[in-house]
Amino acid sequence: MPSPSDHTHIALGDLTFDVTISGPADGAPVVLLHGFPESAASWLPVSALLNESGLRTYAPNQRGYSPGARPDGVDSYRIDHLVADVIGLLDALGLDTAHLVGHDWGAAVAWIVAARHSDRIRTLTTVSVPHPAAFGWALREDADQKERSSYIRLLRMEGKAEHVLLRDDALALRAMFGGVVAPALVDEHVALLGQPGALNAALNWYRAMTSDFAATPAVTVPTTYVWSTGDTALGRAGAERCGEFVDAPYEFVVLDGATHWIPEQRPDALAEAILTRTGTAPD
């Protein structure tokens, strides 16, 4: 097993994932799934706090983000593959079970992992994106969420989206962070997505997305959902309905004034929510 505070490569079939591992070797395992247009580096502020509390964290650069796990074609990024990657990483790391945390797209994957593989997930903490059934309902029924999600149309346009986001030294990509994420972290995210084929692969997550997400069953593991009032992408309607799709102890944490970029902007509050859910919060 890798030593504490290590960057390692995990092979799953033909793909190799870059994983940042930190914290005490005997700490309870927490898997951290990043969103778009981020990278595993988005978890650095949160990981440090979790490690201080005795947890061991595993933050992979997911499919398309790791240079060795960047297959061609939209079909390679369908949800079944994204879910299988997480279970494969648990297997490769020798983890029978783990606490699971996800933000943005990582949250969408985490919800479905927990719904399909409850025997492998001790607790679930999702950030920004509600349960896929709640989000699907909001996309159909809530005018506010429809407007907030209109940007997805551009991201699904192959070629055009890549050009718009990367031109002028990735000006539009950088602007997505709204000036609230530390420049060094933004630079790390942008450098990764500027690699050949990386942004195309990351956008294929959107292009592979189907309405099947809304059919995700309720999760049955203890769950915390963290949402922020300043999130321009995810509205209140879906957030408030999220708890209807959790058949287990559930907490809805609202961060007033925070933007979509909770892991980087409010790491203290997010770490506290994770520690409370995992039962490792200090007295």
Instruction: Provide the pLDDT for residue 3.
Output: 38
Q: Which of 276, 282, 279, 216 is nearest to 252 (CA)?
A: 276
**In the sheet that 223-228 helps form, which strands lie side by side, from edge to edge?**
6-12, 15-22, 56-60, 29-33, 98-103, 121-127, 223-228, 250-255
94: left (phi over 0), alpha (psi -120 to 50) or beta: left
pLDDT of residue 283: 59
CA neighbours within 13 Å on the CB side: how many for 222? 12
Calpha distance 240→222 (Å, rounded) = 17
- What tokens does 190 get? 């942008």
Structure tokens at 58: 């595993």
pLDDT for 173 equals 95
DSSP 215-251: GPPPB-S-EEEEEETT-SSS-HHHHHHGGGGB-S-EE
Collect the ranges in the chain with pLDDT lower than 70.
1-5, 283
> Active-site residue numbers?
104, 206, 260
Query: What domains are defined for the chain?
Result: 6-278 (3.40.50.1820)
DSSP letter at 195? Answer: S
Residue 5 has a pLDDT of 58
The pTM assigned to this predicted structure is 0.96
